[in-house]
C-alpha cells in the first residue's frame, strides 16, 4: 500500500524517474559506460565490456535487493548482482570506481532528464498564459491592493505577469539543469588515484557516453550546492504556481465571483452544503507549494559534508528528490488544466467595477484637476475628503464633485463625467501585455 500521495493521488509520469527499478537501470548505464571507457583505453578486453553491457540488461532488482539485505550496501549489491551475470568478466565490473562515482553520475542523468520534463511543463503553461493574456488584454477589472479596490486594471495584465514569472523560472531551470548535468569518475576522495595516468581521459569518455559534463573537482561526492539549486528552483516554480492559484481562489469568493474553476455537472462541492462550488483545486496547489518549499532548507543543510564526505545527505535525498520533482510536476499539470478551463463572469466583473460608485477613479479626477491648475496636493486632499463624503452619504463620487465649485470651475460637466468610465482608465495596459508576452514561450 502506498504511504504518500505522490505514489497515487498526485502521481505523474515523472515518478518513474525515481522508482527503484529506474535507479538500478541508471546505475547499470554508468557501469556499462565505465567498462566501455576502460576497454577503449586498453585497460580491459573489449570482450569484457561487451559481456558487462549484455549482462546489465538481465540484472533483476529483486536479486540486488536480496544481496543488499545480506550486505547492507545498495550500490555494492548492484555490483555483485551484475558480476554474477558476467562469468568471464565479473572481475572487471566497477573497476577503479567508488560507490558515488556511480550513484552521483546516475543522479546527474536522472535530474537532467526530470528537469527537462519539468521545463517542458513550464513551457506548456506559458503557452496557456500567453493566450489568456492576449484574449483578456482589454478585459477591464478592478485592481486591488491591500485587499481594497484600487484603480482599474485588466485581466490581461494578470496573466502577462504570470507569463513573465514563469519565464524567469524557465531561465533558472536552464541554469540549474546545466549545473546538475555533471558526473564524476574520481574515486574515494576525488583524487582519481585508482584510475591511473588515463584518469582524465577515462572520466571524459564515461561522461561523453552518458551525455554529462565531467565535474572539474570533487570529493567522494559532487558538491550538493548543485542539487540544492535545482530544488530551490523547483520551489520557485511551485511558488509561482501558488501565486496564480491564490488569485483564482480570491477571485472565486462569493463576494467577488469574477472567475471560477471549471465545475463538472456531477461535481460535489460539500458533503452538507449542496450549493457550494469550492476552488478546491487551487487550494490544493497552495497547500502543495508549502510541501515543496519545506524541502529547501534540508537541501541547503545537505551542502555541508564532513571532510571528503559523510552520509548525512543520503537518507534525506531519498525523500527530497522524488518529493520535490513529483509534487512540482503535478502542480504544473494541474494549474495548466485549471487555466484552460477557467470561467469568467463578465456581469460580476462589471458589478465590481461599479461597487465603489466611482471611488476607484478618484486618482484620475485628482490628476485631471492638477492638469487644470490645482496643486497636486490640494487636489489629493479634495478627492480624499470627497471620497469619504460620498461613502458616508452613499452617493457616487461624481455626484459629490458636481457640487464642488473648485471642481466645476476647472472641469466642464462632460469632462468630469468622462473621467468616471473605468474602461478608459487602463493606461498602457494593452501595450504592456503585448510587450510582456512577445517573447517565445
Q: Hey, what's the cell of 54?
A: 549484455
**Active-site residue (options: 146, 264, 271, 438):** 146
DSSP string of 156-222?
A: HHHHHHHHHHHHHHHHHHHHHHHHHSEE----SSSS-GGGGGGHHHHHHHHHHHHT-EEPSS-SSS-
Task: Please answer whether residues 95 and 43 qualify as being in contact, where contact means their C-beta atoms are separated by less than 8 angstroms.
Answer: yes
Q: How far apart are CA 284 and CA 276, in angstroms?
A: 17
Q: Provide the CATH number for the domain formed by 98-172+221-259+278-353+423-441 in this structure.
A: 1.20.200.10
Give yes or no: 264 in active site. no
Q: How many CB atoms lie within 10 A of CB 64?
A: 23
- How far apart (Å, rounded) are the C-alpha atoms in residues 183 and 191? 15
* Whole-number Å distance between alpha carbons of 119 and 97: 32
Domain boundaries 15-95, corresponding CATH code: 1.10.275.10
Q: What letter would DSSP give residue 306?
A: S
pLDDT at 436: 98
For 183-220, the pLDDT digits (tens) are 999 999 999 999 999 999 999 999 999 999 999 999 99
Residue 285 in this model has a pLDDT that exceeds 80: yes
Tell me what the mean pLDDT of segment 66-93 comes to: 97
| Domain residue ranges in the chain | 15-95, 98-172+221-259+278-353+423-441, 359-419
DSSP 17: G
Instruction: Give the pLDDT score at 3.
Output: 85
Integer-rounded Cα Rg, in Å, for the chain is 30
pLDDT tens track for 172-184: 999 999 999 999 9
Phi first, then psi: what are they for 95, rounded to 5°?
-65, 120
For residues 399 and 171, what is the distance between their CA atoms, to the nearest angstrom? 51
Q: What is the pLDDT of residue 264?
A: 65
Terminal Cα distance for the chain, rounded: 40
Catalytic residue check, 250: no
Mean pLDDT of 280-302: 97
The catalytic residue among 47, 120, 262, 270 is 270
Give the model's pLDDT for residue 84: 97
State how far the Cα of 20 lies from the Cα of 236, in Å rounded to an integer.
Answer: 27
Pick the CATH number of 359-419 from 3.30.930.10, 1.10.10.10, 1.10.40.30, 3.30.110.70: 1.10.40.30
Amino acid at each position: 500500500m502506498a504511504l504518500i500521495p505522490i505514489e497515487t493521488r498526485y502521481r505523474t509520469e515523472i515518478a518513474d524517474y525515481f522508482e527503484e527499478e529506474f535507479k538500478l537501470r541508471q546505475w547499470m548505464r554508468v557501469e556499462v559506460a565505465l567498462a566501455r571507457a576502460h576497454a577503449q583505453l586498453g585497460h580491459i578486453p573489449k570482450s569484457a565490456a561487451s559481456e558487462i553491457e549484455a549482462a546489465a540488461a538481465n540484472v533483476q532488482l529483486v536479486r540486488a535487493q536480496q544481496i543488499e539485505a545480506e550486505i547492507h550496501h545498495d550500490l555494492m549489491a548492484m555490483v555483485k548482482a551484475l558480476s554474477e551475470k558476467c562469468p568471464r568478466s565479473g572481475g572487471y565490473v566497477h573497476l577503479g570506481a567508488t560507490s558515488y562515482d556511480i550513484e552521483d553520475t546516475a543522479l546527474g542523468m536522472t535530474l537532467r532528464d526530470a528537469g527537462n520534463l519539468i521545463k517542458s511543463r513550464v513551457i506548456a503553461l506559458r503557452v496557456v498564459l500567453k493566450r489568456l493574456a492576449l484574449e483578456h488584454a482589454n478585459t477591464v477589472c478592478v485592481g486591488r491592493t491591500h485587499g481594497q479596490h484600487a484603480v482599474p486594471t485588466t485581466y490581461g495584465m494578470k496573466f502577462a505577469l504570470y507569463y513573465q514569472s514563469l519565464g524567469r523560472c524557465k531561465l533558472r531551470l536552464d541554469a540549474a539543469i546545466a549545473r546538475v548535468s555533471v558526473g564524476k569518475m574520481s574515486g574515494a576522495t576525488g583524487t582519481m588515484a585508482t584510475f591511473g595516468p588515463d584518469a582524465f581521459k577515462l572520466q571524459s569518455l564515461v561522461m561523453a557516453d552518458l551525455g554529462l559534463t565531467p565535474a572539474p573537482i570533487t570529493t567522494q561526492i559532487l558538491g550538493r550546492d548543485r542539487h540544492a539549486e535545482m530544488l530551490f528552483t523547483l520551489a520557485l516554480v511551485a511558488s509561482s504556481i501558488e501565486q496564480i492559484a491564490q488569485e483564482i481562489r480570491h477571485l472565486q469568493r462569493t463576494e467577488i465571483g469574477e472567475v471560477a474553476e471549471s465545475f463538472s455537472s456531477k461535481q460535489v462541492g460539500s458533503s452538507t452544503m449542496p450549493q457550494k462550488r469550492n476552488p478546491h483545486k487551487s487550494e490544493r496547489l497552495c497547500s502543495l507549494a508549502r510541501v515543496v518549499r519545506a524541502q529547501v532548507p534540508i537541501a541547503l543543510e545537505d551542502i555541508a559534508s564532513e571532510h571528503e564526505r559523510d552520509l548525512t545527505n543520503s537518507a534525506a535525498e531519498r525523500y527530497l528528490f522524488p518529493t520535490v520533482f513529483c509534487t512540482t510536476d503535478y502542480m504544473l499539470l494541474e494549474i495548466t488544466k485549471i487555466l484552460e478551463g477557467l470561467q469568467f463572469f463578465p456581469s460580476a466583473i462589471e458589478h465590481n467595477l461599479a461597487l465603489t460608485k466611482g471611488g476607484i477613479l478618484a486618482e484620475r479626477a485628482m490628476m485631471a484637476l492638477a492638469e487644470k491648475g490645482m496643486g497636486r496636493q490640494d487636489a489629493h486632499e479634495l478627492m480624499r475628503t470627497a471620497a469619504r463624503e460620498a461613502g458616508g452619504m452613499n452617493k457616487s463620487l461624481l455626484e459629490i464633485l458636481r457640487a464642488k465649485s473648485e471642481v466645476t470651475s476647472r472641469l466642464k460637466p462632460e469632462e468630469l463625467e468622462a473621467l468616471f468610465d473605468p474602461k478608459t482608465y487602463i493606461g498602457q495596459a494593452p501595450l504592456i501585455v503585448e510587450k510582456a508576452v512577445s517573447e517565445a514561450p
